[in-house]
Amino acid sequence: MNIFVTGSTGFVGGHLVEKLCSQGHNVYALVRTPSKASFFPKSVTLIKGELQTSAPNAWLSQLPDVIDTVIHTAGIVHSFQSAQFYNINAEATRQLIQDFSNREGLRFILVSSLAAAGPTTKDKILTETDTENPVSVYGKSKLRAERYLKATPASWITAIVRPPMVIGPRDPAILDIFKMVKGRKVVVPGRDGFSNVYSFICVLDLVELLSELTHFKGRGEVFFSANEKSHTFEEIVMSIADELGVGSISRIKAPLWLLPSAAKALKIVSQILPINPRLTPDKVHELKASAWLCSDKKAREWLGFKARYNLQETIKITAKDYNDRGVL
């Protein structure tokens, strides 16, 4: 099968390229910087370029006439500029759909986010039939991208995957938590932040689901992709501590009212120093939620999907990757 992957050098995209190659597919990977694709299998065909938002993508000419499946993983998760979320997450998706619109029978899989559905409460697990209520610009931009996908040619096969927190080897986000645990001081937003509850999925399980969808025959279906068991932030921290052999940890509770000011201060610093902080004014809206929970029931019933990696196993392989690369 000829499969085109966007965001191929990203966290999810990189693992997906490796998975698809191991299954014998012909993978065409969109890359802005070919040197970042040095870990790809040699069979991968690199397509040099980036996603456009208001003009046809010139790199389309590098693709073969027949592309069976597009898996769109590209996007940004944090930014100090709200417009960037809509440009990169939504408008680039719209342009990509338009560029492929003359290809009959294309399968298009969009990797969205639980943020497009929004947070919930500790006693409520979201399903795909619940009304979306994103609280961040990031989530709203992902939801707009989903709606663009619903207006695709009638001959297309389409699916949307909404992962919750994704953890695994090469994960750039949870590395910050690993470093805090290793330093024995963990900062959490809010007085009750350690009791906040999250669904999660190991990146290896997520790419397994995405690879299964290359055989999907439906149209317009949304799937949450999550491990069956959810965890508190406390449990995630302690799993990391157990893996790193760290004993006592100081728990620092940052007041929620302080987060917007801290995010604004980081924005100013980022304009002076070459840093890319994850705490932004937009991210504050997500950090205030006490629960991000979603059900894996539809994926299990429709696709036969069941996550294989529990939290401790996921933390273990993630820690090994960090230690092997010397980033921890």
DSSP per residue, 79-93: -S-HHHIIIIIIIHH
The reply to whether the predicted model has a pTM over 0.85 is yes
Token pair in block for residue 156: 């297309």
Give the Cα separation of 14 and 37 in Å (integer).
8
Structural domain span for residue 108: 2-171+200-228+293-309
The one-letter amino acid code at 243 reads E
Domain assignment present for 121:
yes
Q: How many domains does the chain have?
A: 1
The one-letter amino acid code at 111 reads V
Domain assignment present for 286:
no
pLDDT tens, residue order, the chain (328 aa): 999 999 999 999 999 999 999 999 999 999 999 999 999 999 999 999 999 999 999 999 999 999 999 999 999 998 888 899 999 999 999 999 999 999 999 999 999 999 999 999 999 999 999 999 999 999 999 999 999 998 899 999 999 999 999 999 999 999 999 999 999 999 998 889 999 999 999 999 999 999 999 999 999 999 999 999 999 999 999 999 999 999 899 999 988 888 888 888 888 887 787 777 788 889 999 999 999 999 999 999 999 999 999 999 999 999 999 999 999 9
Which pLDDT value is given to residue 281? 87
Task: Return all residues near 45 (Cβ < 8 A) that are at least 6 apart.
Answer: 26, 27, 28, 29
Domain assignment present for 282:
no
Which pLDDT value is given to residue 190? 87
Domain assignment present for 285:
no
Domain assignment present for 101:
yes
Looking at residue 113, which CATH number applies to its domain?
3.40.50.720
Which pLDDT value is given to residue 170? 96
Domain assignment present for 35:
yes
Give the Cα separation of 259 and 198 in Å (integer).
20
Contact, 99 vs 30, CB < 8 A?
Answer: no
Which pLDDT value is given to residue 268? 85
For 297-328, give one letter per residue: b (16+ CB within 10 A) or e. Answer: ebbeeebebebebbbeebbebbbebbeeeeee
Domain assignment present for 249:
no
Which pLDDT value is given to residue 267? 82
Which pLDDT value is given to residue 109? 98
Give the Cα separation of 15 and 304 in Å (integer).
21
Domain assignment present for 185:
no
Contact, 192 vs 322, CB < 8 A?
Answer: no
Give the Cα separation of 130 and 135 in Å (integer).
15
Bridging pattern class, strands 69-72 and 107-111: parallel
**Considering Cα of 97, then 31, then 70, then 162, what sign does the dihedral take?**
negative
Residues paired with 122 in a beta bridge: none
N-term to C-term CA, the chain = 38
Give the Cα separation of 96 and 77 in Å (integer).
19
